[in-house]
Structures are given as structure tokens and as C-alpha cells.
Amino acid sequence: MRFYENSRKANLFLIVACIVIVILLLFIVFNQNYRYSSLSTIPNRSLANSILTSTINTPNTVQAVQNPTNYTGQAPVIFTKSVNLTGDILTSENITILLRGVVINTNGFSLISGKTFDNEGTIVAGLAKNSGENAPYSYGGSGGGGWAFGCGNAGGGSVANNGGSTVVAGGSGLNNGFDQAAGNGASGDIPPPKLNNFDIQTMYNNGIQQYLEGAGGGSASNCGTTEIGGSGSYGIYIQANKVIAGTIITAGEAGSGSSEVASGGGGGGIILISYGLGGYIPGSYNYSGGAAGIANYGKAGSGGPGGVIAYNYSLSPPINP
């Protein structure tokens, strides 16, 4: 009887021991799986950095260039602050002017993208032709004429110059025209709708500004007083498969005036936009001629306005970025 009791207790102990061992084994296996799962799903900085590094170093993936003053290459170009360009921006990727407060002074240079041009800021073309200077091949606005009245109302010793000409004549200066105005500048002739790739290539290769800039306003002087005519504005050339134009300014500079002398306003520049199958979203444009200078007894002429030319090149761009 005692032997039976001892045997039963031994068997019970053995069963409990086996159960404990099984539980321990299950716990170990579960814990290993849990650790593996956790390590494979929880983000860690080293892994993220290695992925980022491998992405950057992957062939055909190039980091964006930020705020260049000139650039030719294969990287996206992003402007996050205002800059003054010293050369063209040409890229096979996007050009993005990212923020509303950003101002890009192009100073006669072009913006050419192989993909999308997106302007969320402001583009200012800058001033080109000085007082009275001509731009004989340009479709931009011509300059307004100067105005002068003789020294001490004597009717002598005064000079009023004509405004500079583009493909259209500048405004005529007016000398001794009491209570009258000098001639205004004129708007340049916009090229015909048949503008094509060859035309733009030729313009670009020859120096595209000579076809886009406004002429200078006419100066005036008398008795040692001189008023310098307003400068004409540069034009601007923008090219991309898709163009979101945004705000662009190619306005001529205003003339100035004193007691008996006033100068003419400068001509506005041309905004030339070439776009492909991606389309064109027009923006807000100011291509006005500069305001006329005003004197006590008369006024000069205003500069002629520029204009906007939008050309759809479809598949093949005029300028290869």
C-alpha cells in the first residue's frame, strides 16, 4: 500500500515537471518570435539613414539644387529665398519657386526646365536699356518722349529727346510745348501666331534679350537741369513641358520731372513662354510701360507696354535643357 502511494506521487511529480518544461519551451519560442518581429518593424535611425543614403547614391537620382544664381545640369532646382540671377537656369528636371515671398530677379536670363516650371513667388525681369537707348530688333515697348520748356519761360536753351525705339518708333520729344504732352511710346509688334521652334532657337542663340527688352525713355534738359529717361525693362524667356507662370513683372521704369523738364518712361518687356504637352497655366503679368515724368507746365510721354507670347511646342522643345 505504501509502495503504491509513493509510486503515484512520483508519477504526479513527473507529469508536473513535464508540464513545466513544455511551458518553458513555449515561452522561449514565443519570446524569440516576438523579439524578431519587434526588431523588424520598429523604425530605427540607422536603418532610415542607410535607406536615405542608398537612395541618394542610386544612379539617376540627384539631390535638388537650392537657390542657385545660375545652373546647367540634371538636378531639380528649388528657390526658397530671393536671388539675383547671373546666368541662365537650365535643367532637365523641375524648376520650383517655392514661396510667395521669394523674388527672382532674372536680369535678362532665362529659366528652362525639362519637366515642370512652377512659380509660387514673383519673377522680376529687371531694367535693361538706359535713357533713350534703342532696341531695334525687339518686340518690346518703345520709350516715351521727353518734355522741356525754355529757361525762365524765355523759350530757349531747352532740349527734349525722343524715346528709344524697338521695332516701333519711340515717342517724340516735345520742346517748348506749354501745357502739352510729349509723345508716348508704342507697344511692340507681337510676332505672328506661326512662331516656331526655329524662330526661338535663333533668338536664343543670337541673345534672346535683343528681341524681348523695352527701349529707354527720352531725356530732357534746360538751364542746367536734366531729367534722365526711364530705363526699358528686360523681357524674360521661360520654357518647360508644364508651365505654372505665377507673377511676372517686366514693367518699364517711370520717367521723372522737375519744374520745367520731364523725361519719358521706359518700354515694357516681352514675356515669352514655351510649353509642351503638360500645358500652360497663365499667371498675373505686369508688362506696362513706365509712367511719364511730369513738370509744372507739361509732361513727357509714357513708355510703350510689352506683352505676353505663349507658344506650344508640343513634343520637342526649342531649347534642350
Nearest to 149 by CA among 137, 140, 158: 158
d(C-alpha 3, C-alpha 77), whole Å? 92
pLDDT at 191: 72
> In tens digits, what is the pLDDT along the chain, a chain of 321 residues?
444 455 555 566 667 666 767 676 665 544 544 333 332 333 333 333 333 333 334 345 679 999 999 999 999 999 999 999 999 999 999 999 999 999 999 999 999 999 999 999 999 999 998 888 999 999 999 999 999 987 755 555 788 999 999 999 999 999 887 778 878 888 877 776 678 999 999 999 999 999 999 999 999 998 888 999 999 999 999 999 999 999 999 999 999 998 889 999 999 999 999 999 999 999 999 999 999 999 988 899 999 999 999 999 999 999 998
HEC readout, 161-215? CCCCCCCCCCCCCEECCCCEECCCCCCCCCCCCCCCHHHHHHHHHHHHHHHCCCC
Q: Which residues, 6+ apart, have CB-to-CB distance to 60 below 8 Å?
A: none
With respect to residue 321, please indicate whether it lies within any of the assigned structural domains: no
With respect to residue 105, please indicate whether it lies within any of the assigned structural domains: no
With respect to residue 68, please indicate whether it lies within any of the assigned structural domains: no
pLDDT at 218: 95
With respect to residue 219, please indicate whether it lies within any of the assigned structural domains: yes
pLDDT at 112: 98
With respect to residue 80, please indicate whether it lies within any of the assigned structural domains: no
Residue-wise pLDDT for 176-187, tens only, equals 877 788 788 888
With respect to residue 148, please indicate whether it lies within any of the assigned structural domains: yes
Phi, psi for 316 (deg, rounded to 5): -105, 120
With respect to residue 20, please indicate whether it lies within any of the assigned structural domains: no
Which amino acid appears at position 221 of this protein? S
pTM: predicted TM-score of the whole model, two decimal places: 0.79
Q: Which domain holds residue 144?
A: 124-314
Sign of the four-CA dihedral 190, 195, 201, 202: negative
With respect to residue 281, please indicate whether it lies within any of the assigned structural domains: yes
d(C-alpha 171, C-alpha 177), whole Å? 15
Residue-wise pLDDT for 222-257, tens only, equals 888 899 999 999 999 999 999 999 999 999 999 999
pLDDT at 319: 97
pLDDT at 251: 98
Q: Domain tally for the chain?
A: 1
